[in-house]
Amino acid sequence: MIHVTKVKVKNKMGLHTRPATAIVKLLQSAKCDVFFTHKQETVNAKSILSLLMLAAKRNSSITITTQGVDAEKTMNSLVSAFENHFGENV
């Protein structure tokens, strides 16, 4: 089953190295495909370089697509991570 959700980048510096690293770590054990789409570009969210290439600034909208065995669980974890600013101080 495919899950698609839109999230907003809330971090002051946007989707920079620290949140990108947090995303990749979170997805290490995921048993599904995860893609982020920002503007017209879609990338594999398990690749830190791909995430950084999105150059998503604060308040950017990102569409997350998960597909596979644990797609729903992975989506929930990602949405929660975005909501919590990836543990960064606000």
85 assigned to active site: no
The yes or no reply on domain 2-87 and CATH 3.30.1340.10 is yes
70's tokens:
């644990």
- Distance from C-alpha of 3 to C-alpha of 34, rounded to nearest angstrom: 10
User: Which residues have CB under 8 Å from 47's CB, separation 6+?
Assistant: 24
Task: Give the model confidence (pLDDT) of 10-61 as tens digits.
Answer: 999 999 999 999 999 999 999 999 999 999 999 999 999 999 999 999 999 9
Active-site residue, from 3, 16, 38, 85: 16
> Is the overall model pTM greater than 0.85, yes or no?
yes
Domain coordinates of the chain in residue numbers? 2-87
